[in-house]
Amino acid sequence: MESTCNTIMRDEDSTSASENDDRISALPDHLLLKILECLYMPTAVQTGVLSTRWRHLPHQLSNLQINAEDFPGTVDQIMTAYTDATRRFLSPPPCGCNRVIKILQLCFYLADPYLSSIGHALGDAVKIDVPEYLEFAATGHVACPSEAELVLFRQCFMSFFHACPGPFSLLTKLTLRSLSFEDSDIPNILNTCNKLKLLSLRSCQMGQDPVLKIDAPCSELIGLELIDFECEQVELISAPQLLELVYDSWCGENPPVSFGYVPQLVKLYFASPALSWQTPFTLSECLSGNKNLSMLHLNFRTQMIWIEPEDPRQLTPIFSKLRDAHLYNIFAECDLNWTMFILEGAPSLENFYLSRHSCELSKTKDSAEKTNVLWEPSENSRYLNLKLLVMKGFKEEEKVMNYVRLVMARAVVLNRIELCDEDPCNGCSAINHEPPRFMVDEASKQRIREQLTHGSSSSAEIIIG
């Protein structure tokens, strides 16, 4: 009897599972495609192989992201599976139905002979259907490549680039990692990729010529990202559509970039620890000629401050449209009054963000020695448009409290102040091992508010948390 019951229960479970499978398979194609788009690519490939009902669906996906990191195995095994998946997804639908690829993102390793097959599949696909957004992310497959490997990855990529002018001419975004460029490579890329909007170069370097020159008067480039890019200087000679520049960690002389004709530049992000051979530079020297900046990010990586305070009148032509300024990771021992020269030189500034932190994790044998930065704010200056002050790394100590009071006194329309502790830092003993110094109980918050507002006419709301 028990055996019979178990058999019936198994049959019922099987029937229930079958019915559930049927319910999914009975959904219309557009809903099944939504399900596939939520899966990572190897799983989506398997659905087409294992299920008759789903076999034609991968060929109808309009958003394709095929990433080599989603495939297991050695580099050869990964790229073999990756190449097969790319060919499968880019080939014409076997059902003969129409397919429109809106977004195509290909992230792959720079390894031969696989790029040739990927190039052929791409070339055939774009002859039939031009994606609205096309992105390549090509990277070397070695964690810490040698100089010879950087050169080899460059040769591999440039061979792929020259073999596929059609797909590259349609490219929207290009990310390259671990390449050693020759002086003509970037100009050739920008000239061929005439629809390129975003270029990201990560852990790359200039080889023979240590200067990266970008002279692309006809380019549509709106975003340039340089992360751990090794060169002596970046020269933006002409990039008339460029809106945003990110330069994170440089090792050449200061200033890291010279600006030519970049009339549309509105957002600038500089982040780097200062090195011993680098000397601080003035923002007016670096940014001369820029008049449309609306957002400025400076990240000092808790090391020496690598900009030099200057007469705010030198900055006003450059910062006349600046709305948001972010100064990150100022080392905690440093005075803050020097930051006032940016407030004084940016008459339209509305939001000012500061973060303080001391951490030795980013310090190396080449790090510059940290020194205090002194600056006396003008006596009669007023920050007429400043509405928000945010400080991370706030401590109830005299120099910090005096700084906040000074901003409150000068910012006549300030309506909000946000004060909070510094962000957690993985591996930083200053955060992990020391007892918290910033009390967040309500009594402490009220005491801080009273100290800040004592004798002040400011009506700014003070948020502490």
Task: Compute the distance between CA of residue 414 and CA of residue 407 in angstroms, rounded to an integer.
Answer: 9
CA 130 vs. chain centroid, Å, equals: 27
266 CB neighbour count, 10 Å cutoff? 18
* Extended strands (E) in 347-408: 351-356, 388-392
Task: Compute the distance between CA of residue 281 and CA of residue 213 in angstroms, rounded to an integer.
Answer: 21
The closest alpha carbon to 179, from 272, 79, 108, 110, belongs to: 110
Residue-level pLDDT at 5? 42
Would residue 24 count as lying in a domain? Answer: no
Would residue 431 count as lying in a domain? Answer: yes
Structure token digits, residue 107: 């992230």
Residue-level pLDDT at 438? 53
The closest alpha carbon to 408, from 449, 375, 364, 362, belongs to: 449
Would residue 442 count as lying in a domain? Answer: yes
Q: 407 lies in which domain range? A: 300-465
Would residue 381 count as lying in a domain? Answer: yes
Checking phi first, is residue 251 left (phi over 0); if not, alpha (psi -120 to 50) or beta? alpha
Task: Compute the distance between CA of residue 425 and CA of residue 7 in angstroms, rounded to an integer.
Answer: 58
277 CB neighbour count, 10 Å cutoff? 11
Structure token digits, residue 157: 């990529």
Task: Compute the distance between CA of residue 423 and CA of residue 356 in angstroms, rounded to an integer.
Answer: 9
Q: For the stretch 365-387, what's the b/e string if a residue is b when 16 or more beta carbons lie within 10 angstroms of its beta carbon?
A: eebbebeebeeebeeeeebebbe
Are 212 and 187 in contact by the 8 Å Cβ rule? The answer is no
Which amino acid is located at 41 in the chain? M
Task: Compute the distance between CA of residue 47 and CA of residue 26 in angstroms, rounded to an integer.
Answer: 15
Task: Compute the distance between CA of residue 248 and CA of residue 229 in angstroms, rounded to an integer.
Answer: 8
Residue ranges in the chain whose pLDDT is less than 70: 1-22, 24-25, 30, 40-56, 58-59, 94-97, 360-362, 425-440
| Total of domains in the chain | 1
Q: What is the DSSP string of 117-179?
A: HHHHHHHHHHHH---SEEEEEEE-S-SS--HHHHHHHHHHHHHHHHH-HHHHHT-SEEEEES-
Would residue 192 count as lying in a domain? Answer: no
Helices (H), 332-441: 340-345, 398-410, 429-432
Residue with tokens 């031969």: 112
Contacts of 419 (CB under 8 A, 6+ apart): 391, 394, 404, 448, 462, 463, 464, 465
Would residue 318 count as lying in a domain? Answer: yes
Contacts of 8 (CB under 8 A, 6+ apart): none
Is residue 451 helix, strand or coil? helix
Would residue 352 count as lying in a domain? Answer: yes
Cα–Cα distances in Å, from 106 out to 173, 200, 437? 10, 15, 48
Would residue 395 count as lying in a domain? Answer: yes
Structure token digits, residue 16: 């229930």
Which amino acid is located at 67 in the chain? N
Across the chain, mean pLDDT equals: 87
The closest alpha carbon to 310, from 302, 319, 301, belongs to: 319
Structure token digits, residue 231: 């060169």
Are 359 and 397 in contact by the 8 Å Cβ rule? The answer is no
Residue-level pLDDT at 143? 86
Residue-level pLDDT at 313? 93
Are 215 and 191 in contact by the 8 Å Cβ rule? The answer is no
Are 79 and 108 in contact by the 8 Å Cβ rule? The answer is yes
What are the tens digits of pLDDT across the range 176-205? 999 999 999 999 999 999 999 999 999 999
Cis before 113 (ω within 30):
yes
Stated pTM of the model:
0.87
